[in-house]
């Protein structure tokens, strides 16, 4: 089982629940149709990684997302996740009305920072992703079409969430392809004070 770190302790999520089309800007940049209900899909435990791996055989896009760890059915910790997506394959599958798993749930397709416990106001949280010192993505709960609390309730209505499961809340505009050697800096902030900072080098 793959694991993540929360407050310095290793936790093995049973699954990652992901939300698509949750920022209007990202919906527009991919020319997708807005969705009235949350778009939910799953990544398995085998998707979890701590490093970003480049694959020259596929066009893989980064998607930075505010991510929450679940305990006792509630959002109890926060971190930054990168939802890696085989974009061309996803487009092909969507055009045929087929599921996204081949483009979304492959091994090492969910890269995470460390998580820290959080019981503050979710409105105070924001995240940033820099690539080679340039800010490429930033987002917060106010920009989301579906707030994390409403997402949690929606998911719990049809799926059991185990302690340690992760909720990825969607990505804003600014996604793009991985390039070997690029330096990624991800941050989660509370009222502009850094809670989490993580650097990755694409290799």
Q: What pLDDT digit, counting tens, does each position of 34-64 carry?
A: 778 999 999 999 999 999 999 999 999 999 9
Q: Is the pLDDT of residue 31 over 80?
A: no
Q: What is the pLDDT of residues 73-122, one digit of tens each?
A: 999 999 999 999 999 999 999 999 999 999 999 999 999 999 999 999 99
pTM of the full structure: 0.96
Mean residue pLDDT across the chain = 96
The phi-psi region of residue 7 (left if phi > 0; otherwise alpha if psi is between -120 and 50; otherwise beta) is left
Q: What is the pLDDT of residues 158-185, one digit of tens each?
A: 999 999 999 999 999 999 999 999 999 9
Distance in angstroms (rounded) separating the CA atoms of residues 6 and 90: 31
Q: Is the pLDDT of residue 33 over 90?
A: no
From the number of C-beta atoms within 10 Å of its C-beta (0-12, 13-18, 19+), residue 198 rates as: middle
- Going by their DSSP bridges, the two strands 15-20 and 166-168 should be labelled as parallel
Sequence-ordered list of residues with C-beta below 8 angstroms from that of 31, at least 6 positions apart, any chain: none
Q: What is the pLDDT of residues 113-171, one digit of tens each?
A: 999 999 999 999 999 999 999 999 999 999 999 999 999 999 999 999 999 999 999 99
Radius of gyration of the chain (CA): 15
pLDDT at position 76 = 98
pLDDT at position 93 = 96
pLDDT at position 152 = 98
Kindly report the length of the chain.
Answer: 203
Distance in angstroms (rounded) separating the CA atoms of residues 153 and 132: 37
List the domains of the chain with CATH numbers: 4-201 (3.90.850.10)
The pair of three-digit structure tokens given for residue 91, joined into one six-digit string? 């487009």
């Amino acid at each position: 089982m793959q694991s993540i770190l929360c407050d310095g302790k290793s936790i093995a999520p049973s699954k990652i629940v992901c939300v698509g089309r949750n920022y209007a800007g990202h919906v527009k940049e991919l020319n997708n149709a807005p969705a009235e209900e949350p778009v939910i899909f799953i990544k398995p435990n085998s998707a979890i990684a701590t490093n970003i791996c480049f694959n020259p055989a596929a066009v893989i896009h980064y998607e930075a997302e505010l991510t929450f760890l679940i305990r006792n059915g509630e959002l109890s910790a926060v971190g930054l996740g990168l939802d890696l997506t085989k974009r061309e394959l996803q487009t092909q599958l969507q055009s045929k009305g087929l599921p996204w798993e081949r483009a979304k749930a492959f091994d090492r397709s969910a890269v995470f920072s460390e998580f820290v416990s959080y019981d503050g106001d979710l409105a105070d949280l924001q995240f940033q992703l820099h690539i080679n010192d340039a800010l490429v993505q930033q987002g917060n709960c106010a920009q989301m079409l579906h707030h994390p609390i409403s997402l949690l309730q929606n998911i719990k209505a049809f799926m059991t969430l185990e302690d340690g499961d992760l909720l990825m809340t969607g990505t804003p505009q600014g996604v793009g392809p991985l390039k070997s050697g690029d330096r990624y800096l991800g941050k989660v902030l509370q009222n502009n004070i850094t809670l989490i900072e993580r650097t990755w080098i694409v290799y």
